[in-house]
């Protein structure tokens, strides 16, 4: 399991630099997505791009403060940058592109593996892979039981979400998985009451999964 003691000793300059890095990477990620996946409609509106950059900045800053210069921090920066993009796409298009989900999963695996070589914590890596498999299978079963509530995009996203939660710990995997459903339920209730949407499937589930993973990573010891 990664060390959490670095947060208290993180220098403000280090935290600020990581936050700025996230702010820069956000528009670069959007340009790469628009170029490589033109079917998504190109670059989003300026207001959306500014919003995603700010959210990415806040997340990267929070991760830098939370974990400090830990060897696993790059993996969480990847989660912040690409997680915001996936949430944006799923929110607007109800779509979680396979290449982006796969990139987050393989990127997370690679960065966690690199961190293990730098600071041997093989148990954390094995737990991360187990977490990815467990959450994926759970979502797959729920999608087969209730296809109207869980889409296959959510099932695939459960892999990288489970990877990150599992790396943090078994408790984080449990509570992060549950929190995703709680958040989605609250969002669905709000949208239904405000916009009179008739079906829960019309509310994107991916943003809640990603928000739950980030929240657990930031606030759960």
The answer to whether 60 and 97 have CB atoms below 8 angstroms apart is no
The Cα 159–Cα 164 span in angstroms is: 9
How many residues does the structure list for the chain?
A: 221
pTM exceeds 0.85 for this model: yes
In tens digits, the chain (221 residues) has pLDDT values of 454 445 444 589 999 999 999 999 999 999 999 999 999 999 999 999 999 999 999 999 999 999 999 999 999 999 999 999 999 999 999 999 999 999 999 999 999 999 888 777 889 999 999 999 999 999 999 999 988 778 999 999 999 999 999 999 999 999 999 999 999 999 888 887 877 555 555 789 999 999 999 999 999 87
Question: Cβ neighbours of residue 39 under 8 Å, at least 6 residues apart?
Answer: none
**φ/ψ of residue 185, rounded to 5:** -65, -40
Is residue 154 exposed (0-12), middle (13-18) or buried (19+ Cβ within 10 Å)?
buried
């Amino acid at each position: 399991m990664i060390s959490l003691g670095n947060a208290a000793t993180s220098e403000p300059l280090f935290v600020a630099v990581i936050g700025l890095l996230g702010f820069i990477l956000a528009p670069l990620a959007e340009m790469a997505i628009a170029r490589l996946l033109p079917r998504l409609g190109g670059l989003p509106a300026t207001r959306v791009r500014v919003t995603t950059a700010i959210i990415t900045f806040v997340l990267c800053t929070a991760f830098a403060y939370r974990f400090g210069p830990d060897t696993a921090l790059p993996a969480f920066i990847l989660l912040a940058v690409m997680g915001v993009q996936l949430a944006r796409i799923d929110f607007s298009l109800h779509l979680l592109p396979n290449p982006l989900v796969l990139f987050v999963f393989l990127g997370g695996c690679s960065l966690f593996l690199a961190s293990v070589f730098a600071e041997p914590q093989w148990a954390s890596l094995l737990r991360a892979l187990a977490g990815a498999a467990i959450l994926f299978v759970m979502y797959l079963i729920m999608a087969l039981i209730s296809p109207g509530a869980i889409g296959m995009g959510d099932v695939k996203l459960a892999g990288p979400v489970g990877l990150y939660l599992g790396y943090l710990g078994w408790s984080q995997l449990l509570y992060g998985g549950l929190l995703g459903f709680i958040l989605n339920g609250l969002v669905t209730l709000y949208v239904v009451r405000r916009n009179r949407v008739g079906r829960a499937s019309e509310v994107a589930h991916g943003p809640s999964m990603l928000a739950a993973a980030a929240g657990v990573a930031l606030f759960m010891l």
